[in-house]
DNA sequence: CTGAAAGCGCTAACAT
DNA sequence: ATGTTAGCGCTTTCAG
C-alpha cells in the first residue's frame, strides 16, 4: 500500500512532473483550495499515491499553516489529564489538523517552556493547561497564535478559557461532608505558590471556597489547611502525619483525586478505615469507581472540557476574535469513602 | 524577562543587525558550532536576549535539524504509558532536544498515522510504542530517521528496541498462581488481531507463555483464553460473564493491569472476594499498590524503559548504526489479590 | 574566524 | 482553470 510507505525525498515538484501539471496546482489540490477541475484533482491525487508523496510540514510552515495543533500538559501522570486529551483528540480527529502534545517537564512546571516550544514549531493553535503562567504573557502570546486555556478563570480578552465551576464543585463536596455531620474537616492542597488568592487557579478557588464554607457553617475554629507536594506518595506521607498527629480530623477534602488516593493509603496504613476518616477528592478519575477505592469526588467531565476546548480553538482558527469563557458544571459523586463521623 | 516574551517576528537577520555580524555567525552561535570567537558569541547572545529572538523551527527543519524528538503512544489512558513518557522526558530534558508526543487516535490504533505525522514534521528521531506496525515498514522508516521501538521483540537491523522479558514475567506470574495451588487459571487478553503468534507483540508472548506453562504443569485441560476489548469497562463486562458462567476459574491472569482492574471490579460486583478468585496483572501501574486495589502484578519498570529508549535514540542521532536490543528484566510483586484457591 | 550567496519545499500573489 | 515567480528563515558551502 503506497500510502503506508514512509516518505522518501519526494517533493511537490516530483508530483507535479508525474501528473504533468504545475507545483501550484498540486498545492491547491492538497489544501483543497478551490479553482481545480475534477480532472486535475484526479491526476494529482493519483500521482501523490503512486509516488507516496508526503507534504513537508516545515516547508508549509514557512509560508502558511502547519496543520498542527499543540497542547501543553503539566503532568500526564495524573489520570485526569489524559481524559482531557481524549476529548481534544476526539474533537480534532475529524479535522485536517494533527495534534501534538508537549509535556511540561517537571523542572519547568509552569509550562512556559513547553508552550514556547509549541509556538516555535509554528503550530496553528495552542491549548494549554498552565494555571501558573501570567495572563499578560498569555495575552501577548494570543496576539501571535490562537490560544485556549484550560482550568483558568481569568477574564481574558485575547484567548478563550474552559474551566469547571470550582466554587460550585467545592460547595457540593463540603456540603456533603457537613450534612453527614463532620466538623473537623481538613483541606489537603498543594504548595502555596500554586494557590495564590485571586489567581484564578482551580486549587486556589477550592481552597478559598473551603474556607468560606467552613466560616458560613460556623466552623472557623476547625479550618485546617495542609500543604503537600505533588503526587500520590507525597500526599500519603503528609496525610500520615496528619492522621497520627494530635486532633485527627474526621474528614479530609483533598484538592483533587490524586492526593486523595494517597490519603486513602495513609488511612489504611495507619490501621484506620473510612469509618474513622472520610475522604473527598476532585476530578472523578476512572479509578475512583473501583470497588476498593470507591472515592467520593466531584466529577469534572474531562472529555467534555477537552472537546469544548478543541472546538473553541478551531473556531478561533476559523477567524473568531471575541473571547469566550466556558464554565462547565461539576457534579458530586458520592461513594463509600465518606461516612458519618465516628 | 526577555526570554519569557512570546516570539515576535524577530528573525536571525534582526539579531545579526543588532549584533553587527552576519547571519551565518548568529547561526553558528545558536547551534554552538565551532569557529566562533568568545567575543562574537558574547555579542550575539546579548542581541538574542534583548530582541527575544526564537529560532524558527520550520526554517531550521528545511536545512538541518529541528531539535525535536517525537514519541508515538497508543493510549495515554493506560497509566503505564505516562510512566514510559516520564522516563523519556527525564532522559531528554538535559539534551537540546524538545520532546513532542503524538497520541495514536483510537481510529488508527496501529500508529501508522501518528508516526507518519511525526516524520512529516521533520523530527530528528522517533520513539514508538506500536506493537502492530509491520517490521518492513519500520525498516523503511528507519532508513529515513533514527527509530527506537518499545515493547517489540523483533530482531531489527535498522532500528533499536527496548522491551521487557515478557516470557520471564509471565512465567513468574503463572508460577506464583500454580504454587498457590490454582489449577483453573483463565487468561484474559485482547482481540486476536493483537495476539498473532510469533508477532513478537507483548500480549502474544504472554498468551503463548501462559499456554506453555499450563501445559508444562499438566493443566492442558484447564487452558482457557478469554478475549476482551480494550479498557477497564470492557474487561469488567467480560469478566462478569466469566465469573457468573459455568465453571468459574479460581484465578485470572490478565494481559496487563488495566483489564485486571476491571476483573477486580467484576469480582466485587458479583459479590465475590479475592478469597474466591485471584487476579494477577502485568505492568505494576501506580494504583496497583493502593490498599483497596492491592493487585499482584509483574513490575516492568516503565521509567527505566523510557530512559533507555531515549538514550538509545540519542546515540543513534549521534551516529551509531549497529542495532541494539535491550531486554529489561521484570519482577513479580505479590499483593493480596492473589490467595490460595478456596 | 567571519561574511556572501545559494537554496531547502512550499504557498500566495500575480499572470495567463 | 492553470502556470510563473518571489520569497518565508534558516544552514551550509565556499571565499575572503
Would you list the domain boundaries of chain B?
12-55, 63-163+302-327, 166-301
Output the 3-class SS for chain B.
Answer: CHHHCCCCCCCHHHHHHHHCCCHHHHHHHHCCCCCCCHHHHHHHHHHHHHHCCCCCHHHHHHHCCCCEEEEEECCCCCCHHHHHHHHHHHHHHCCCCEEEEEECCHHHCCCHHHHHHHHHCCCCEEEECCCCCCHHHHHHHHCCCCEEEECCCCCCCCCEEEEECHHHHHHHHHHHHHHHCCCCEEEEECCHHHCCCCCCCHHHHHHHHHHHHHHHCCCHHHCEEEECCCCHHHHHHHHHHHHHCCCCCCEEEECCHHHHHHHHHHHHHCCCCCCCCEEECCECCHHHHCCCCCCEEEECCHHHHHHHHHHHHHHHHCCCCCCCEEEECCEEECCCCCCCCC
The yes-or-no verdict on residue A2 having pLDDT over 60 is no
Task: Give the largest Cα separation in chain A, rounded.
Answer: 84
A281-296, pLDDT tens digit by residue? 999 999 999 999 999 9
Q: What is the mean pLDDT of residues B20-34?
A: 86
- The CATH number, out of the four listed (2.40.110.10, 1.10.260.40, 1.20.810.10, 3.30.420.40), of the domain defined by the range B12-55: 1.10.260.40
Q: What is the mean pLDDT of residues A216-243?
A: 97
| CA–CA–CA angle A157, A162, A168 (5° rounding) | 115
Considering only residues B327 and A32, tell me which one the structure prediction assigns the higher pLDDT.
B327
Domain B63-163+302-327, architecture per CATH: 3-Layer(aba) Sandwich (3.40)
The residue whose CA lies nearest the C1' of nucleotide C13 is: A24
The answer to whether the C-beta of B1 is closer than 7 A to strand C is no
A173-189, pLDDT tens digit by residue? 999 999 999 999 999 99
Give the model's pLDDT for residue B28. Answer: 87
When pLDDT is cut at 50, 70 and 90, the band that residue B114 belongs to is: very high
The yes-or-no verdict on residue B4 having pLDDT over 80 is no
| pTM more than 0.85 | yes
- Give nearest nucleotide to B54 (CA–C1'): D9
Q: What percent of chain A lies above the pLDDT cut of 90?
A: 82
Which of A104-108, A162-166, B261-265 has the weakest average pLDDT? A104-108
Q: What percent of chain A lies above the pLDDT cut of 70?
A: 98
B65-88, pLDDT tens digit by residue? 999 999 999 999 999 999 999 999
Give the model's pLDDT for residue A3. Answer: 40
Give the minimum alpha-carbon distance from B204 to chain A in angstroms, rounded to a whole number.
Answer: 24
The residue whose CA lies nearest the C1' of nucleotide D3 is: A22
- Give nearest nucleotide to B25 (CA–C1'): C2
Give the model's pLDDT for residue B33. Answer: 79
Give the model's pLDDT for residue A24. Answer: 86
Give the model's pLDDT for residue B35. Answer: 76
Measured CA A309 to C1' C8 distance, in angstroms = 35
B202-222, pLDDT tens digit by residue? 999 999 999 999 999 999 999
Q: What is the DSSP string of A269-287?
A: HTT--TTT-EEE-SB--GG
- Give nearest nucleotide to B23 (CA–C1'): C3
Q: Residues of A numbered 40-69 whose beta carbons fall under 8 angstroms of chain B's beta carbons: which are they?
A: 54-62, 66, 68
Domain spanning A166-301: CATH superfamily: Response regulator (3.40.50.2300)
Same fold, B12-55 and B63-163+302-327: no
Q: Does the beta-carbon distance from B89 to A103 stay under 8 Å?
A: yes
Whether B232 and chain A come into contact, CB under 8 Å, resolves to: yes
Least CB-CB distance to B268: which of A85, A112, A291? A291
Least CB-CB distance to A76: which of B7, B82, B90? B82
Give the model's pLDDT for residue B8. Answer: 56
Q: Does the beta-carbon distance from A292 to B290 stay under 8 Å?
A: yes
Q: Does the beta-carbon distance from A82 to B82 stay under 8 Å?
A: yes
Give the model's pLDDT for residue A4. Answer: 40
Give the minimum alpha-carbon distance from B262 to chain A in angstroms, rounded to a whole number.
Answer: 8
Measured CA A36 to C1' D7 distance, in angstroms = 24
Amino acid at each position: 500500500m503506497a500510502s503506508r510507505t514512509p516518505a522518501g525525498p519526494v517533493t511537490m515538484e516530483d508530483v507535479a512532473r508525474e501528473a504533468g501539471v504545475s507545483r501550484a496546482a498540486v498545492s491547491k489540490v492538497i489544501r483543497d483550495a478551490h479553482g481545480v477541475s475534477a480532472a486535475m484533482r484526479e491526476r494529482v491525487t493519483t500521482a501523490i499515491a503512486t509516488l507516496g508523496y508526503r507534504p513537508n510540514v516545515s516547508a508549509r510552515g514557512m509560508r502558511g499553516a502547519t496543520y498542527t495543533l499543540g497542547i501543553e500538559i503539566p503532568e500526564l501522570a495524573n489520570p485526569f489529564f489524559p481524559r482531557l486529551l481524549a476529548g481534544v483528540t476526539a474533537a480534532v480527529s475529524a479535522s485536517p489538523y494533527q495534534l501534538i502534545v508537549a509535556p511540561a517537564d517537571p523542572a519547568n512546571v509552569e509550562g512556559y517552556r513547553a508552550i514556547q516550544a509549541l509556538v516555535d514549531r509554528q503550530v496553528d493553535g495552542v491549548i494549554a493547561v498552565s494555571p501558573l503562567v501570567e495572563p499578560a504573557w498569555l495575552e501577548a502570546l494570543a496576539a501571535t497564535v490562537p490560544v485556549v486555556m484550560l482550568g483558568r478563570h481569568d477574564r481574558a480578552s485575547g484567548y478563550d478559557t474552559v474551566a469547571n465551576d470550582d466554587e460550585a464543585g467545592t460547595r457540593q463536596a463540603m456540603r456533603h461532608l457537613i450534612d453527614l455531620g463532620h466538623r473537623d474537616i481538613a483541606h489537603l492542597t498543594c504548595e502555596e505558590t500554586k494557590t495564590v488568592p485571586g489567581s484564578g487557579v482551580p486549587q486556589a478557588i477550592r481552597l478559598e471556597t473551603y474556607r468560606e464554607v467552613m466560616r458560613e457553617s460556623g466552623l472557623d475554629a476547625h479550618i485546617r489547611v495542609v500543604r503537600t507536594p505533588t503526587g500520590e506518595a507525597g500526599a500519603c506521607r503528609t496525610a500520615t502525619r496528619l492522621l497520627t498527629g494530635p486532633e485527627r480530623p474526621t474528614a479530609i477534602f483533598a484538592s483533587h483525586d490524586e492526593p486523595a488516593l494517597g490519603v486513602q493509603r495513609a488511612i489504611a496504613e495507619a490501621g484506620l478505615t473510612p469509618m474513622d476518616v472520610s475522604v473527598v477528592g476532585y476530578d472523578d478519575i476512572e479509578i475512583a469507581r473501583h470497588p476498593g477505592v470507591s472515592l467520593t469526588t466531584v466529577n469534572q467531565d474531562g472529555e467534555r472540557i477537552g472537546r469544548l476546548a478543541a472546538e473553541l480553538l478551531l473556531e478561533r482558527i476559523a477567524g473568531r476574535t471575541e473571547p469566550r469563557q466556558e464554565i462547565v458544571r461539576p457534579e458530586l459523586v458520592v461513594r463509600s469513602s465518606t461516612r458519618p463521623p465516628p
